[in-house]
A = this chain, B = another copy of it.
Amino acid sequence: MNFASDNAYGAAPEILDAIVAANEGAVASYGDDPFTNRLKTRMATLFERDVAVFPVITGTAANVLALSTLCPPHGAVVCHAAAHIMVDECGGVEFFTHGAQLVPIPGEHGKLTPVAIERALKRFRKGDAHSVQPAVISITEATEAGTIYTLKEIADIASLARAHGLKLHIDGARFANALAHLGCSPAEAIWGVDALSFGATKNGALGAEAVIFFDPTDARDFEYRRMKGGHLLSKMRFVSAQLLAYTENGRWLAWAARANSLAQRLAQGLAAVADAEIVHPVEANAIFARLPDRTIAQLRAKGAHFYDWGTSENGRTLARFVTSFATPEADIERFLDLMRGK
């Protein structure tokens, strides 16, 4: 029963098949291969516009390379206080941007709101060299809290970004989970967005992400940044092949839908247990539940893996449970049985 992370599971068989299939013969290295070229067409089709696409191997690489392309060293990136770029990337954005500042903004259920962003922007003096200059808003879709911005919410933030001359970036480590929930097209989900960290690793890939710029002119220096960062893979075909297989026949959405639906099942089960308090709407593939410490200990003793999210208070601790494309359904049932004291 591993609910620790959607990274705990390996790759989907279709992804492994695609890797094996891509192994045939000699091709040009460093991205000048047929797979990477096909990926560009694929993404342009998916997002219904001309795009610049750059495969990389980690979500952090995607985020830091995208943001350093959009934000100058004297800039600032507005994000949620709990964003991955803020709390889980060891200062990677500060490093790759050469000293830009992250502006952490609190917000209910992992979401930024236009009001909160407007308030945060006020403390920066535009054009005053003493002050870093806000350059990018970065939102996470699905959020770190397992919630999902609606299209209206993204559009409102996009309008605000445009009004302030800011770029809008999406950390889409769980973009598929968001799309599966929203039921909209990829193109609809990125209206007003400048760059997307398109994640696949958490949802069935072996290791594959892509930075996508929706205005290719924004990507000007990207190739140099990727190389300088050590993120240009020689055998790129294997990353591109994963992304092709991932986005083929709606697989990515089906896998994400499965993870989401397991999360729903788990959440419903938990909600029926008196002692569990679910703190965020469950919309993607994560559940945050405050449980008695005793229950948590028992669950772990029976072999359930999951993370505490903060420390114990008044005998209860917030715990995070993540489902994935590969989580066995039986694990959900077994876990709920444990919760019910069986």
Known: A23-B11, A99-B228. A234 touches B201 (CB 8 A): yes
Nearest CB in chain B: distance from A4 CB, A: 7
- Say whether, besides A129-B224, A223-B129, A235-B7, A2 and B16 are in contact (CB < 8 Å): no
B2, B60, B74: the one within 8 Å of A225 (CB): B74
Complex: A237 Cα to B9 Cα, angstroms? 10
Q: Counting CB contacts under 8 A, is A182 at the interface?
A: no
A16 → B minimal CB distance (Å): 6
Q: Which residues of A contact B (CB under 8 A)?
A: 2, 4-5, 7-11, 16, 19-20, 22-30, 56-65, 72-74, 76, 87-92, 94-96, 98-102, 122-123, 129-133, 201-202, 206-207, 221, 223-235, 237-238, 305, 310-311, 326
Chain B residues with CB below 8 A from A76, complex form: 91
Which of B16, B56, B88 interacts with A19 by CB under 8 Å? B16
A231 to chain B, nearest CB (A): 7
Name the contact of A10 in the complex, choosing from B24, B64, B130 (C-beta under 8 A). Answer: B24
In the bound complex, do residue B90 and residue A132 qualify as a contact, i.e. CB atoms below 8 Å apart? yes
Q: Considering only CB atoms, which chain B residue lies closest to A63 in the complex?
A: B230
| Contact among B129, B132, B226, B233 for A226, CB-based, below 8 A | B129
Q: Which residue of B lies closest to A130 (CB)?
A: B88
Q: Are B57 and A74 in contact (CB under 8 A)?
A: no
Chain B nearest Cβ from A198, distance in angstroms = 15
**A9's contact among B9, B26, B58, by CB below 8 Å, is which?**
B26
Q: Which residues of B contact A57 (CB under 8 A)?
A: 57, 207, 233
A228: B residues at CB distance < 8 A: 73-74, 89-92, 95, 99
Do A90 and B206 touch (CB < 8 A)? no
State the CA gap A4–B234 with chains docked (Å). Answer: 12
CB A306 to nearest CB in B, in angstroms, measures 12
Check if B8 sits within 8 Å of A26, measured CB to CB.
yes
Q: Output the least CB separation between A95 and chain B (Å).
A: 3
A73 & B101 in contact (Cβ 8 Å cutoff) = no
CB distance B95 to A99 under 8 Å?
yes
Asked whether B92 lies within 8 Å of A238 as measured between CB atoms, the reply is no
Give, as a whole number of angstroms, the nearest-CB distance from A311 to chain B: 7
A232 touches B101 (CB 8 A): no
Further contacts, 10 of them, CB under 8 A, given A88-B131, A89-B230, A130-B227: A5-B234, A10-B23, A10-B24, A57-B57, A58-B234, A63-B230, A73-B224, A92-B227, A207-B235, A207-B238
Task: Please measure, in the bound complex, the distance between the C-alpha atom of A10 and the C-alpha atom of B234, giving whole angstroms.
Answer: 10
- With A91-B74, A230-B92 known as contacts, the answer to whether A8 contacts B23 (CB < 8 A) is no
Q: Complex Cα distance A169/B229, Å?
A: 19
Whether B9 pairs with A20 at a CB distance below 8 angstroms is no
A26–B234 CA distance with the chains assembled, in angstroms: 28
State A91–B232 Cα separation when bound (angstroms). 14
Given contacts A90-B130, A129-B224, A133-B224, contact A98 B101 (CB under 8 A): no
